[in-house]
Amino acid sequence: MQDVERLIARDPGGRGVAALLVPGDLDRAAGAVTAANRVLIITGFGVGPHGVAETDGPPGALFLGRALARLGKQVIFATHRLCEPVMAAGVASVGLSAPLEVLDRAQSPAPLLERHQVDLVISIELPGRAADGQYYNMRGIPITERTAPLDELLLVAKARAIPTIGVGDGGNEAGMGKVVEQVRQAVRGGERIASVVSADYLISAGTSNWGAYGLVATLNPALLPEPEEEVQLLTALVVAGALDGVKLEAAATVDGLEQEEYLQILRDLKGR
C-alpha cells in the first residue's frame, strides 16, 4: 500500500475504514485530476435537527479546490441549500473566486454538468443513497428530508463517461457503492446505510477531509494547507453555522477528534 493511502486511513473513530480501501485508487484518482480541466467538487453533509453543514467535507473540498486552481484547473463547487452559508463563507475564507452552485431538494443537479462543461466530478463527504433510495447518517437515521440528491451527479457523469472520484469515511457517502459489500460487513449499521452510488475511484480515509488532503499530497504536497490555515477555515465555517458532525456542537473540530490529532495528518503528509 502507498504511504499516503496508509496515512489517511488512520481510523481514530474506529469506523472500519481499512476494510473500505481500494488500494491504488488514490494514485488513479490523482491521474484523473491531472487529465482534467474543469472539475466539479460537491460536498455538504447536513447534520443536526436543521441539517446544516458539518465540518467534515467543506475543508477538504475547499483546499482541494484551491490546489486545483493553483494547478490551472477551473473549479466549480456545488452543495445543497442548507449548506450554502457554510460553503459560501468557506470559498471566501480560502480566497477563491470559483462559482458555488446551490441546489434544492426537488431540483435535478444534472444540468450543472453541461453548464460548466465538467470533465471530472469529485464528491467529498456527500450523502449517497442507500439501496432503498433513502439517505442515512452514520447513526442510521434517515436524512432524506434534509439533503438534496446531489449524488445523482455521479450517476449522470457515469452515464456520460465523465470520470468520478468519491471521498468518504463511513460507507454512507457517494462513491462507497464501489465497496458496498465491504460496508455492509465492516461498518456498524452498514446493511442499512451503505450507499449504492459508486465512483470510478474511491478514496476512503479516517475523515473525509483527510481523504481530500491525501489527493492533494499525491498531486503535490506543497499545495497542502498549513495547519494554521485549516484552523482559520474551520473557525470561519463554524461562525457561518457549521457543526462538528460527531459532537453536534459548533466547534472548530472534525468528527469529534482532538484538534492536534486531526491536524497531525497535514504535518505527516507534508513531511513525507
Residues in the site for Ca ion, rule: CB under 5 A?
A: 56, 169, 207-208, 255
Residue 25 or 169 having the CB closest to Ca ion: 169
Question: CB 210 → Ca ion: shortest distance, Å?
Answer: 9
The CB-based long-range contact list for 110-115 (8 Å cut-off, 24+ gap) reads: 110/152, 110/153, 110/156, 112/40, 112/76, 112/78, 112/153, 113/40, 113/153, 113/156, 113/157, 113/160, 113/162
What CA–CA distance (Å, rounded) separates 111 from 170?
Answer: 29
Question: CB 161 → Ca ion: shortest distance, Å?
Answer: 30
Question: CB 182 → Ca ion: shortest distance, Å?
Answer: 17
Residue 110 or 186 having the CB closest to Ca ion: 186
Phi, psi dihedral angles at 195 (to 5 degrees): -80, 140
* Pair 49, 79: CB distance under 8 Å: no
Question: CB 162 → Ca ion: shortest distance, Å?
Answer: 25
What CA–CA distance (Å, rounded) separates 162 from 264?
Answer: 34
Question: CB 195 → Ca ion: shortest distance, Å?
Answer: 13
* Pair 218, 6: CB distance under 8 Å: no
Residue 156 or 209 having the CB closest to Ca ion: 209
Residue 84 or 255 having the CB closest to Ca ion: 255
Residue 60 or 149 having the CB closest to Ca ion: 60
Which residues share a beta bridge with 243?
54
Residue 5 or 255 having the CB closest to Ca ion: 255
Identity at 227, one-letter amino acid code: P
Residue nearest Ca ion by beta-carbon distance: 56
* Burial of residue 200 (number of CB atoms within 10 Å: 0-12, 13-18, 19+): buried
Question: CB 124 → Ca ion: shortest distance, Å?
Answer: 10
